[in-house]
Structure 1
Amino acid sequence: MAGAVLRGDEELFTGRWFGLVLLVSLLAGCGDGDSMESFGGPTMGSTYSIKYVRHTGLADSAQVRREVEGILVEVDRQLSTYRSDSEIERFNALPANSCQTMPAPVLELVRVGEQLSEQSEGSYDLTVEPLMNLWGFGPQGREEKVPDTAVLAEVMQRVGHQHLHIKGDQLCKDVAVEVDFNSIAAGYAVDTIAARLEAMGIHDYLAEATGELRAKGKKLDGSAWRIALEEPRDDQQVAERVISVDGYGVSTSGDYRNYFLQDGRRYSHTFDARSGAPVLHDLASVTVIHPSALMADGLSTLLLILGPERAWDYAEKHDIGAFFVIRADTGFVIRTSAAFERLSGAKVD
């Protein structure tokens, strides 16, 4: 999840895992001319925020809000791991060798997860929910601590995308795996909201849910939507860099908000499915720019799992716009891919 800081008339969104902060209000227009509209509220255990330019003749803000919140309710009903009646949690409760009919979006996300799992050689995996719970980070987590080796080995028998299979409109599993869409659900929601805004004739907007966002067009004054990338600190919010975005999704994944310390080691909520343990490398955060907010969401998690060297090689090989923040003895080191420099628009000091 991510948050935002509004400075003056700028929309400055920062990295995942902290709250939304509004320092100033956007002006809602009145009368018959164009206006800047905004609304937001709670979703997925965090918040969402929509800002758009309403041109004369378009739907009013109340109607747009109803459409957006309808999408968020449906996403929660299908993908939430925090409600036992969601589509995915009903599937997760099934035993091995079971199938369940699923809505098309759920099957689409499973296919995306399979793609990312294969491309990361199994490091990224949607079936890590048992591991999240075991280490204390999941919806059923009890205590944040390093688990017993034997217990970890047992749980690892229920992890692996290869145990999921799609048969027509059914999702099936051959062992009792549990799927967690938290690494891509918000990005999917943002893309779905963006498509609905476009269908309603809205082409200048910034749509954000739990920190995943997509921006297109311009603000009311004709200036670009600007996004701030936060320095990965858990004590304060510091903008590391500000970029302009038009037509792209942006996602930041980091290890600096949700973690615990044990015996001098830092264990975050980001897991490598091959080891069954949180990653322990020096890559503190990754921001990805991509035409799809869904893919930006998944890729930012994938790159964070891979670590500084493997992630860099992956981003360059696949031409991914990625902004890396790496811990060093002297502070943080910034590294950006060639695609990031190409896609991120004008840099603002």
Structure 2
Amino acid sequence: MKTFSDPCTVDRYDFNGATMGTRYRAVLYSAEVQNEGELARQLDQAVTQVDLQMSNWRPDSELMRFNDLEPGIWMTLPSDLLWVLHTAIQVGLASDSAFDIAVGDLVGAWSFGPPAGLAKGGEREALRRQPGPSAAAALEFDFGSGRVRKRHRVHLDLSGIAKGFGVDRLARCLEDRGIRDYLVSIDGEFRARGGKPGGQPWTVAIEAPQEGVRTALGVLQMGDGGLATSGDYRHFLEQEGTRYAHTMDPRLAVPVANDVASVSVLAPTCMLADAWATALMVLGPERGSAMAREYGLSALFLLRDKGGLRQLWVDGDGAVG
């Protein structure tokens, strides 16, 4: 049974800052927070560390250093990065390759990665005709020594999982301090535990998939766990009258092209919610909802049709509405 702190004995704290080209936030209730300044520093340090390890936009990140290595060369990686890579591969295998972090070249060819520029038609066509190896096939792990090497030349892109892990790291900072009632987020991805004083649950807005504006379509109550959304309305490319979403279909080596405007996923961690939101976006409503039921995920699909938006909800015990 979920319990909440006594409203007469707790205070509300709110921390926020810049990270990953956007902002993070941590809202919590606690009877006493020792040294607020130190906690703010720890939260900032946690997300900064994730960015330094996993960013595709920082040439000095651990990930980019690994991307630059030739196949066969071992590299010792921080434990957090090692865990994210391993988790990404597991989600990739479970999703029938709908999620795959070995899409760095593909993302670059479609001008969605650094540096931005015109889409490279010849490179796109070459990748479509002969897609590169999956991350599962390309990476070899030595967990005993914390090392990874590439079997094949590949460029990894963690944009579909790193932000979710960053949210989990914020949560870990609070958990380490014994804080049990919190909501942390980075740019619309969340991790929650406990609730507000008086037994009120945490509520978060589900964004309407509208280009150029941010409006709430509705709200969702969160229990303990993570929430992430993948959509086609924020980052896209228009070329010769055609709009291409930034989410790649690794199986076809092309941008996703289906009627899914967005998918929001509830999972035990925000890292898993982040990765699975991308996978379900790629799979589409029919296969995606079936896979959500298979793995016990709660998911909200927002689908475009001639009449506007249609909602498809799959809850964690397999019900569909």
- How does the TM-score come out when normalised to structure 2? 0.90
Cα 1:303–1:203 shift into 2, 3 Å: same
Post-superposition CA distance 1:56-96 (Å, at most 9, x none): 3x323212111111111211121111112211110001122
> After the TM superposition, which residues 1-349 of structure 1 pair with which residues of structure 2 at under 5 Å, given as runs?
34-56=10-32, 58-144=33-119, 146-147=121-122, 150-153=125-128, 156-157=131-132, 160-168=135-143, 169-220=146-197, 222-339=199-316
How far off its partner does 1:145 sit?
A: 6.1
Cα distance in 2 for residues equivalent to 1:257 and 1:193: 24
Post-superposition CA distance 1:12-65 (Å, at most 9, x none): xxxxxxxxxxxxxxxxxxxx9632111211101111011111313x32321211
Note if contact 2:249-2:256 (Cα within 8 Å) is conserved in structure 1: yes
Aligned-partner SS, 1:188: helix
Note if contact 2:293-2:318 (Cα within 8 Å) is conserved in structure 1: no
Note if contact 2:292-2:298 (Cα within 8 Å) is conserved in structure 1: yes
Cα 1:144–1:257 shift into 2, 3 Å: farther
Structure 1 counterpart of 2:10, one-letter code? D
RMSD: 2.2
How far off its partner does 1:177 sit?
A: 0.7
Cα 1:199–1:159 shift into 2, 3 Å: closer
Cα 1:195–1:151 shift into 2, 3 Å: same
Q: How many residues align?
A: 310
Aligned-partner SS, 1:37: strand
Structure 1 unaligned segments of length 5 or more: list them.
1-31, 343-349
How far off its partner does 1:252 sit?
A: 0.7
How far off its partner does 1:146 sit?
A: 4.7
Structure 1 counterpart of 2:127, one-letter code? L
Cα 1:132–1:213 shift into 2, 3 Å: same
Cα distance in 2 for residues equivalent to 1:293 and 1:310: 22
How far off its partner does 1:222 sit?
A: 4.5
Structure 2 counterpart of 1:119, one-letter code? A
Cα 1:335–1:145 shift into 2, 3 Å: farther
Cα 1:153–1:280 shift into 2, 3 Å: closer
Post-superposition CA distance 1:130-167 (Å, at most 9, x none): 11111100123421465555543588336543111112
Cα distance in 2 for residues equivalent to 1:194 and 1:271: 29
Cα distance in 2 for residues equivalent to 1:60 and 1:220: 22
Cα 1:174–1:316 shift into 2, 3 Å: same
How far off its partner does 1:270 sit?
A: 0.2
Cα distance in 2 for residues equivalent to 1:151 and 1:102: 31
Cα distance in 2 for residues equivalent to 1:37 and 1:193: 14
Structure 1 counterpart of 2:73, one-letter code? S
Cα distance in 2 for residues equivalent to 1:150 and 1:235: 30
Matched residue, 2:4: none
Cα distance in 2 for residues equivalent to 1:154 and 1:307: 22
Cα distance in 1 for residues equivalent to 2:261 and 2:269: 23
Cα distance in 2 for residues equivalent to 1:264 and 1:44: 31
Structure 2 counterpart of 1:87, one-letter code? E
Note if contact 1:130-1:159 (Cα within 8 Å) is conserved in structure 2: no
Cα distance in 2 for residues equivalent to 1:139 and 1:38: 33
How far off its partner does 1:100 sit?
A: 0.8
Note if contact 2:99-2:276 (Cα within 8 Å) is conserved in structure 1: no
Structure 2 unaligned segments of length 5 or more: list them.
1-7
Structure 1 counterpart of 2:191, one-letter code? R
How far off its partner does 1:127 sit?
A: 1.1
